[in-house]
Amino acid sequence: MLITHELVDLLSSEGLKLRDTKSPLSDPAISARHRLSRRDTLQKSFKVGAREFKWRSTQTPDDCAWCLQNEGKTFGPDIIEQVERQCTCAPYCRGYIEPQLDDLLR
């Protein structure tokens, strides 16, 4: 989890007096769920033989330039590493991977 100024402020004595203590914690939690979901999809796809994956962005203003430029692009098994290295979406990446199963279904 990324330690942000907001998180540090929340954990300070002044932060403990805040009325809304969930907001600074929700973005890291959502980010972690998205990363876990992508990794789970990748592992399940490997089990059925998929080796190619399309990157899908949400195509909203929240997407970074890398996510938008790579919308629909096909990647290999290293797609997760590429996303984590290149994506600059803030506060977290909403994109997902789409296993390419066409060759497996024929």
Convert the pLDDT of each residue in 28-55 to its tens digit: 788 889 999 999 999 999 999 999 999 9
Q: Does 67 reside within a domain?
A: yes
Q: Does 6 reside within a domain?
A: no
**Burial environment of residue 103 by CB neighbours within 10 A (0 to 12, 13 to 18, 19 or more):** exposed
Q: Print the domain residue range for 83.
A: 23-100
Over residues 15-22, the mean pLDDT reads 61
Q: Does 12 reside within a domain?
A: no
Task: Kindly report the backbone phi and psi dihedral angles of residue 98, in degrees, each rounded to the nearest multiple of 5, phi listed first.
Answer: -120, 110
- Tally of structural domains, the chain: 1
Q: In this structure, are residues 18 and 60 in contact, taking their beta carbons and an 8 Å threshold?
A: no
* pLDDT value, residue 14: 61
* pLDDT value, residue 52: 95
**The whole model's pTM is what?**
0.73
